[in-house]
């Protein structure tokens, strides 16, 4: 393949240079658990039934137990305790439970609690859950009747930092090298480039190994450069904007602090005005405060106080 045709995760570097075969065990060590794969398929199907979702959850006792405890959370204020998955689906809502179940599956398989250097791995999952939620709401704002686009946005949001999640959970030595460079004053993204460990490229390689649909491969690869995605501009732009909004509303990674976005391009691509975006931001911040206790349960089995601040949003919109 000649250089001009190579896929790039930024306009400057080809994929193979960005990973440089440093993670030789990437394919062998990291697999997608079968339940998670089945949940992904259900989420992508236009006509999944509640019975099918119930069957997948019930086949995984750990997942089923967490779903039951989630539906008994004070958020839902149920009078009689929920003890079955079919009732949990009614209480939580079919679409919400689909994505929360996927979140539970992913967070349990890629455990970020024991991570190097005192780094708060929980922040990464909180960020992904927040991006997933914002992206879903954004997709519904842009195209209210397109359920498939909303599902795609939810999954894309959850998976967009796949490379970072894999690096932190499966390759702690490499991640520590990145943290060391950052503590010596380097920007995180610069450090990734220096060490040939760009998270977009790592996630993209893995998403191809797993045979994820191309739209997710493109979201993972181009979430910082939606313009570079020729065939999936709209879904990639949704995730890119949701990613920025999550960072600016207090759900950052604690890593990629210097995030840039070509807002005029993204707004044009999504057919949104600045006024519409402002209204969207106000509504989505309110909805995140409501849903965060559920994310805490997904991550810890407990509910904590909401953290959204929204203070950084004005700089995006001004």
Chain residues binding Fe ion by CB under 5 A are 161, 243
State the minimum distance, in angstroms, from the CB of residue 111 to Fe ion. Answer: 19
Q: Rounded to whole angstroms, how far apart are CA atoms 17 and 97?
A: 39
Residue number with CB closer to Fe ion (88 or 298): 298
* Nearer of residues 88 and 182 to Fe ion, judged by Cβ: 182
Give the Cα separation of 208 and 44 in Å (integer): 17
Q: Cβ 108 to Fe ion, closest distance in Å?
A: 21
Distance CA 48, CA 36 (A): 15
Chain centroid to CA 91: 24
| Rounded least distance, CB 255 to Fe ion, Å | 8
List the beta bridge partners of residue 10. 13
Least separation, in Å, of the C-beta of 93 and Fe ion? 25
64 or 134: whose CB is closer to Fe ion? 134
Across 292-305, b (16+ Cβ under 10 Å) vs e yields bbbbbbbbeeeeee
Write the DSSP string, 277-293.
Answer: HHHHHHHHHHHHHHHHH
Q: How far is the CB of 128 from Fe ion (least distance, A)?
A: 7
Question: If you write DSSP's letter for every residue of 51-110 in order, what string do you get?
Answer: HHHHHHHHT-HHHHHHHHHHHTSGGG--SSPP-SHHHHHHHH-HHHHHHHHHHHHHHHHS
- CA dist 71 and 91 (Å) reads 6
CA atoms within 13 A on the CB side of 53: 29
Other CB atoms closer than 10 Å to residue 148's CB: what's the count?
13
Q: How far is the CB of 263 from Fe ion (least distance, A)?
A: 16
Nearest distance from C-beta of residue 173 to Fe ion, angstroms: 21
Contact 179, 117 (CB under 8 A): yes
Q: Which residue has its beta carbon closest to Fe ion?
A: 243
Smaller CB separation from Fe ion, 35 or 244: 244
């Amino acid at each position: 393949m000649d250089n001009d045709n190579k896929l790039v995760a930024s306009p400057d570097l080809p994929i193979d240079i960005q990973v440089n075969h440093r993670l030789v065990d990437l394919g062998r060590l990291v697999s997608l658990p079968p339940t998670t794969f089945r949940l992904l398929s259900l989420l992508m199907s236009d006509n999944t039934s509640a019975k099918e979702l119930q069957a997948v959850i019930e086949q995984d006792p750990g997942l089923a137990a967490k779903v039951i405890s989630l539906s008994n959370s004070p958020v839902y204020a149920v009078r009689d305790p929920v003890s079955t998955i079919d009732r949990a689906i009614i209480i939580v809502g079919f679409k919400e439970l689909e994505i929360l179940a996927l979140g539970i599956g992913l967070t349990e398989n890629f455990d970020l609690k024991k991570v190097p250097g005192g780094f708060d791995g929980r922040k990464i999952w909180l960020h992904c859950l927040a991006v997933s939620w914002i992206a879903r709401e954004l997709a519904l704002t842009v195209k209210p009747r397109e359920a498939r686009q909303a599902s795609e946005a939810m999954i894309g949001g959850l998976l967009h930092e796949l490379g970072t999640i894999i690096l932190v959970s499966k390759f702690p030595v490499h991640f520590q090298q990145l943290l060391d460079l950052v503590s010596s004053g380097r920007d995180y993204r610069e450090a990734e480039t220096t060490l040939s460990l760009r998270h977009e490229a790592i996630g993209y390689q893995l998403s191809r190994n797993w045979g994820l649909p191309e739209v997710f491969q493109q979201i993972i690869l181009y979430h910082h450069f939606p313009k570079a995605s020729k065939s999936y501009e709209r879904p990639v732009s949704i995730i890119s904007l949701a990613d920025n909004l999550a960072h600016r509303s207090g759900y950052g990674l604690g890593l990629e602090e210097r995030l840039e976005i070509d807002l005029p391009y993204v707004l044009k691509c999504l057919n949104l005005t600045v006024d519409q975006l402002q209204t969207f931001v106000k509504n989505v911040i309110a909805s995140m405060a409501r849903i965060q206790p559920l994310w805490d349960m997904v991550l810890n089995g407990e509910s904590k106080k909401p953290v959204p601040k929204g203070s950084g949003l004005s700089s995006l919109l001004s």
